[in-house]
Structure 1
Amino acid sequence: MAQILFTDVRPHDVLVEDGRVVPLERRTEGCEVVEAGGLLALPAPVDAHVHPDKTTWGQPWLSRTPAQTLRDLIEGDVAARAGMAAPVAERAGALMDHAIARGTRAWRAHVDVAPVYGLSNVHGVREAARAREGLLDVQIVAFPQLGLLSMPGTAELMEQSLKEGADILGGLDPVGIDGDLHGHLDLLYGMAERHTVPLDIHLHDGGEQGVAQVLEIARRTKSSGVPTTISHAFCLADREDLAETLAEAEVALTTCALGADPVLPVGPLLGAGVLVGLGSDGVRDPWTPFGDGDMINRAHLLAYRTDARTDEELATCYEIAAHGGAVLLGLEPARLQPGDPADFILVRAESMAQAVVDRPIPQFVVRNGHVRERSY
């Protein structure tokens, strides 16, 4: 396999062979050389929570309707998507292409499953992902956006989705949406155990109601061994005391640093050993006009929302996107060390901390050891 040497790179030159970083002393004669001109190498990030079936990326502007509650947003989403002319595969594919160009190596994609949609969203996102195989790894979460128990027929569709393109089962506010904590979790964990798949549960419910659900999810995760992620978990924003409980149960968390919503206390969580990933959530969809699928931008938002100031705090926000996301999705972290997968980006910055603040566009995107994108 031909080698590529990226030279004049911060913090060190990188030699790539057969999709892996290899020691510099293994350089052979005739090795291709890419002069990086002092660019900084960063591990390729992972978007650990994105909703590509909802996106309007690349489509005409969508004006959003006012919404006061989560249910308002859900109902507005259904109405808006009924009027979208472009198929899911086209819209999701356009966002994938943008994410690839900005260096993202993998997605955990939450895709709506409900009687009103059937499995069309799962099929569309999987079609787009197959067309970009080798450029972007995509895990699909079958997500009951309209309710699991409260929308009859959804549970059966979710189970069927595992045969037709989904990899993971999702949940949504067992109390706030379905009104039945134990019924919702009984169904989810039962399906997950039967099919040996992980769970990723959206939890928007706040306060003690949200905390009670987190504790029950942690209990069931520990007793069942089903790998479980809680997404958003707004109720944990001021509950650093639960970090050790989550770590002991091996419950992972994802945050998206959204608008006015609470953000996870990532420092204490990481300190306790909790796995934390970072995601885009909705991108230019009926819920929000914001988002761009660029994980450097998302790391910047996380740093801003958590008041990161030191180089270490700023770098941690990017590492959550890169390494936290990779571990969450079961990928090898790309730490730019010999033996690591050659998935990295080259940007104009002196350090990871500066990259988080400046949000540079990658000049090179390297995926599986190949230069996939170059920007000048």
Structure 2
Amino acid sequence: MNTTATHPMTNASLITNVRRTDGARVDVSLADGRVAAIGPDLPREPGVRIEDGAGALLLPGFVEGHTHLDKTNWGMNWYCNEVGPKLTDRIENERRWRAQSGHDAGAQSLALARAFLAAGTTRLRTHVDIDTEAGLRHLEGVLATRTALRDVLDMQIVAFPQSGLLGRPGTDALLDRALGAGADVLGALDPALIDGDPVASLDLTFSLAQRHQKPIDIHLHEPGEIGAFTLGLLLDRVAALGMQGQVVVSHAFCLGALPERERDALLARLADLRVALLTTAPPSTPVPPLKTCVERGVTLFGGNDGIRDTWTPYGSPDMLERAMLIAMRYGLRRDDDLALAFDCVSSTAAHGCGFTHYGLQAGARADLVLIEADTLAHAIVARPPRKLVMANGRIVARNGTLAQD
């Protein structure tokens, strides 16, 4: 697949004989990179390219709501992980290893982004380290990847201070430059436990975001009461500054460990301020309650976090696998509950990240996946190779392999 050249969009095509998740047999008409119509027996117009779906299950392109493309060792030799148990151990180990090894964020982010495409992900939010030692080097590499894949992968970049905002002088100036250089979202990290001053940290974060008119996506690993305290301070600032619908709280482990009354009060504020939550559904850490969030009107979506990097040997660019892991973490077994897990890596993730024109309806961007599976639940648990992936109206992969232009 030639990811750097821009080609004229095929004006119109028709995918025939596919099944929606409700079992209905339909055709999908595409024009100028958008879904034109979905329905049974759509007309075959002269000159329209026809693709026979052969009864495959039709799904929208998947959404990765939280990953770190710049960190990955995808496709490289195995990294032997001997890092210590603390968060700061992982941060310092990663910085040291990336500097010593010459890790190339551009090449590695491109390799993993292409793997995401082959597996059906067409929208993606990635956090990129902004570091006082590396400067904007990692950002520059991921910006190059976004440019290379701009015709097929809708990528948001978060400028992320992996060591926190206050502890390394000059970080705020680098974040300021990163937002000016093309980062879409401002990141942050544990204002109390990493920065040591949640008021000053949040004030500076929101000031930067307001200056650039950018949304915020904060890593909040802080547990229990201290996490709840930080979350409350953050929500105060969302309300005071009118940033409703512009903030994501990633991880939010505290919401999985608080007493129900305190938790529900925070969920009510999150819903009222339209602050979304992101979970990777880790197996051994408290997580926000999925069904309670849905019932209370809180957006909770999913992502991988890091994939095959110095932090973790785990992760995969297959968002159906992440949906399965979400389902397992929350004890979801019924087919309708598995559909809720799929929402976390599709429509709910698109909403949480602010990706527009998403879905399988007329006018949406033509991002779709065909897969050989009986039902959506079957697709999540079996995760067969994607028969066909289309992004922005272009065929980008067949049978799990990127197409060649």
Tell me how far apart the structure 2 counterparts of residues 238 and 39 of structure 1 sit (CA, whole Å). 42
Match of 2:253 among 209, 229, 234: 234
Tell me how far apart the structure 1 counterparts of residues 158 and 359 of structure 2 sit (CA, whole Å). 27
Q: What residue identity is the alignment partner of 1:192? A: A
Instruction: Give how far 1:132 is off.
Output: 1.0
Q: What residue identity is the alignment partner of 1:216? A: L
After superposing the two structures, state which structure 1 stretch, 346-355 or 297-306, moved more: 346-355
- 1:172-251 matches, within 5 Å, as 172-226=189-243, 227-239=246-258, 240-241=263-264, 242-251=266-275
Instruction: Give how far 1:263 is off.
Output: 2.6
CA contact (8 A) 2:249 2:278 kept: yes
Tell me how far apart the structure 2 counterparts of residues 157 and 65 of structure 1 sit (CA, whole Å). 30
Q: Does 1:19 align with 2:33?
A: yes
- 1:219-368 matches, within 5 Å, as 219-226=236-243, 227-239=246-258, 240-241=263-264, 242-332=266-356, 334-368=358-392
| Aligned residue number for residue 157 of structure 2 | 140
Tell me how far apart the structure 1 counterparts of residues 128 and 103 of structure 2 sit (CA, whole Å). 16
Instruction: Give how far 1:254 is off.
Output: 0.7
| Aligned residue number for residue 23 of structure 2 | none
| Aligned residue number for residue 397 of structure 2 | 373
Match of 1:7 among 4, 16, 22: 16
| Aligned residue number for residue 166 of structure 1 | 183
After superposing the two structures, state which structure 1 stretch, 256-265 or 349-358, moved more: 256-265
| Aligned residue number for residue 143 of structure 2 | 126
Could you report, residue by residue, the CA deviation over 1:128-148 in whole angstroms, capped at 9, with x for unpaired residues?
111111121211111111121
Tell me how far apart the structure 2 counterparts of residues 232 and 218 of structure 1 sit (CA, whole Å). 16
CA contact (8 A) 1:50 1:109 kept: yes
Q: Does 1:74 align with 2:121?
A: no
TM-score calculated relative to the size of structure 1: 0.96
CA contact (8 A) 2:283 2:329 kept: no
Q: What residue identity is the alignment partner of 2:52? A: E
Tell me how far apart the structure 1 counterparts of residues 352 and 183 of structure 2 sit (CA, whole Å). 17
Tell me how far apart the structure 1 counterparts of residues 345 and 130 of structure 2 sit (CA, whole Å). 26
* SS of alignment partner, residue 248 of structure 1: helix
Instruction: Give how far 1:259 is off.
Output: 4.0
Q: Does 1:34 align with 2:43?
A: no
* SS of alignment partner, residue 181 of structure 2: coil
After superposing the two structures, state which structure 1 stretch, 9-18 or 145-154, moved more: 9-18
Q: What residue identity is the alignment partner of 2:14? A: L
CA contact (8 A) 2:254 2:287 kept: no
Instruction: Give how far 1:13 is off.
Output: 2.2
Tell me how far apart the structure 1 counterparts of residues 276 and 372 of structure 2 sit (CA, whole Å). 32
CA contact (8 A) 2:223 2:257 kept: no
Instruction: Give how far 1:27 is off.
Output: 4.5
* SS of alignment partner, residue 363 of structure 1: strand
* SS of alignment partner, residue 187 of structure 1: helix
Q: Does 1:152 align with 2:194?
A: no
Instruction: Give how far 1:334 is off.
Output: 3.2
CA contact (8 A) 2:357 2:363 kept: no
Instruction: Give how far 1:333 is off.
Output: 5.0
CA contact (8 A) 2:224 2:257 kept: no
Match of 2:76 among 27, 49, 59: 59
After superposing the two structures, state which structure 1 stretch, 267-276 or 126-135, moved more: 267-276
Tell me how far apart the structure 1 counterparts of residues 229 and 201 of structure 2 sit (CA, whole Å). 14
Tell me how far apart the structure 1 counterparts of residues 194 and 387 of structure 2 sit (CA, whole Å). 44
Q: What residue identity is the alignment partner of 1:221? A: V
* SS of alignment partner, residue 205 of structure 1: coil
Tell me how far apart the structure 1 counterparts of residues 122 and 160 of structure 2 sit (CA, whole Å). 22
TM-score calculated relative to the size of structure 2: 0.89
* SS of alignment partner, residue 105 of structure 1: strand
Task: Return closer, same or farther for 1:27/1:244 CA change in 2, 3 Å cut-off.
Answer: farther
| Aligned residue number for residue 403 of structure 2 | none
Match of 1:97 among 99, 111, 114: 114
Q: What residue identity is the alignment partner of 1:349? A: A
Tell me how far apart the structure 2 counterparts of residues 333 and 238 of structure 1 sit (CA, whole Å). 36
The percentage of aligned residue pairs carrying the same residue is 40
CA contact (8 A) 1:10 1:350 kept: no
Tell me how far apart the structure 1 counterparts of residues 209 and 93 of structure 2 sit (CA, whole Å). 30
Q: What residue identity is the alignment partner of 1:22? A: A
CA contact (8 A) 1:103 1:362 kept: yes
Tell me how far apart the structure 2 counterparts of residues 350 and 333 of structure 1 sit (CA, whole Å). 27
Task: Return closer, same or farther for 1:40/1:67 CA change in 2, 3 Å cut-off.
Answer: same
Tell me how far apart the structure 1 counterparts of residues 306 and 256 of structure 2 sit (CA, whole Å). 20
Q: How many residues align?
A: 376
CA contact (8 A) 1:255 1:263 kept: yes
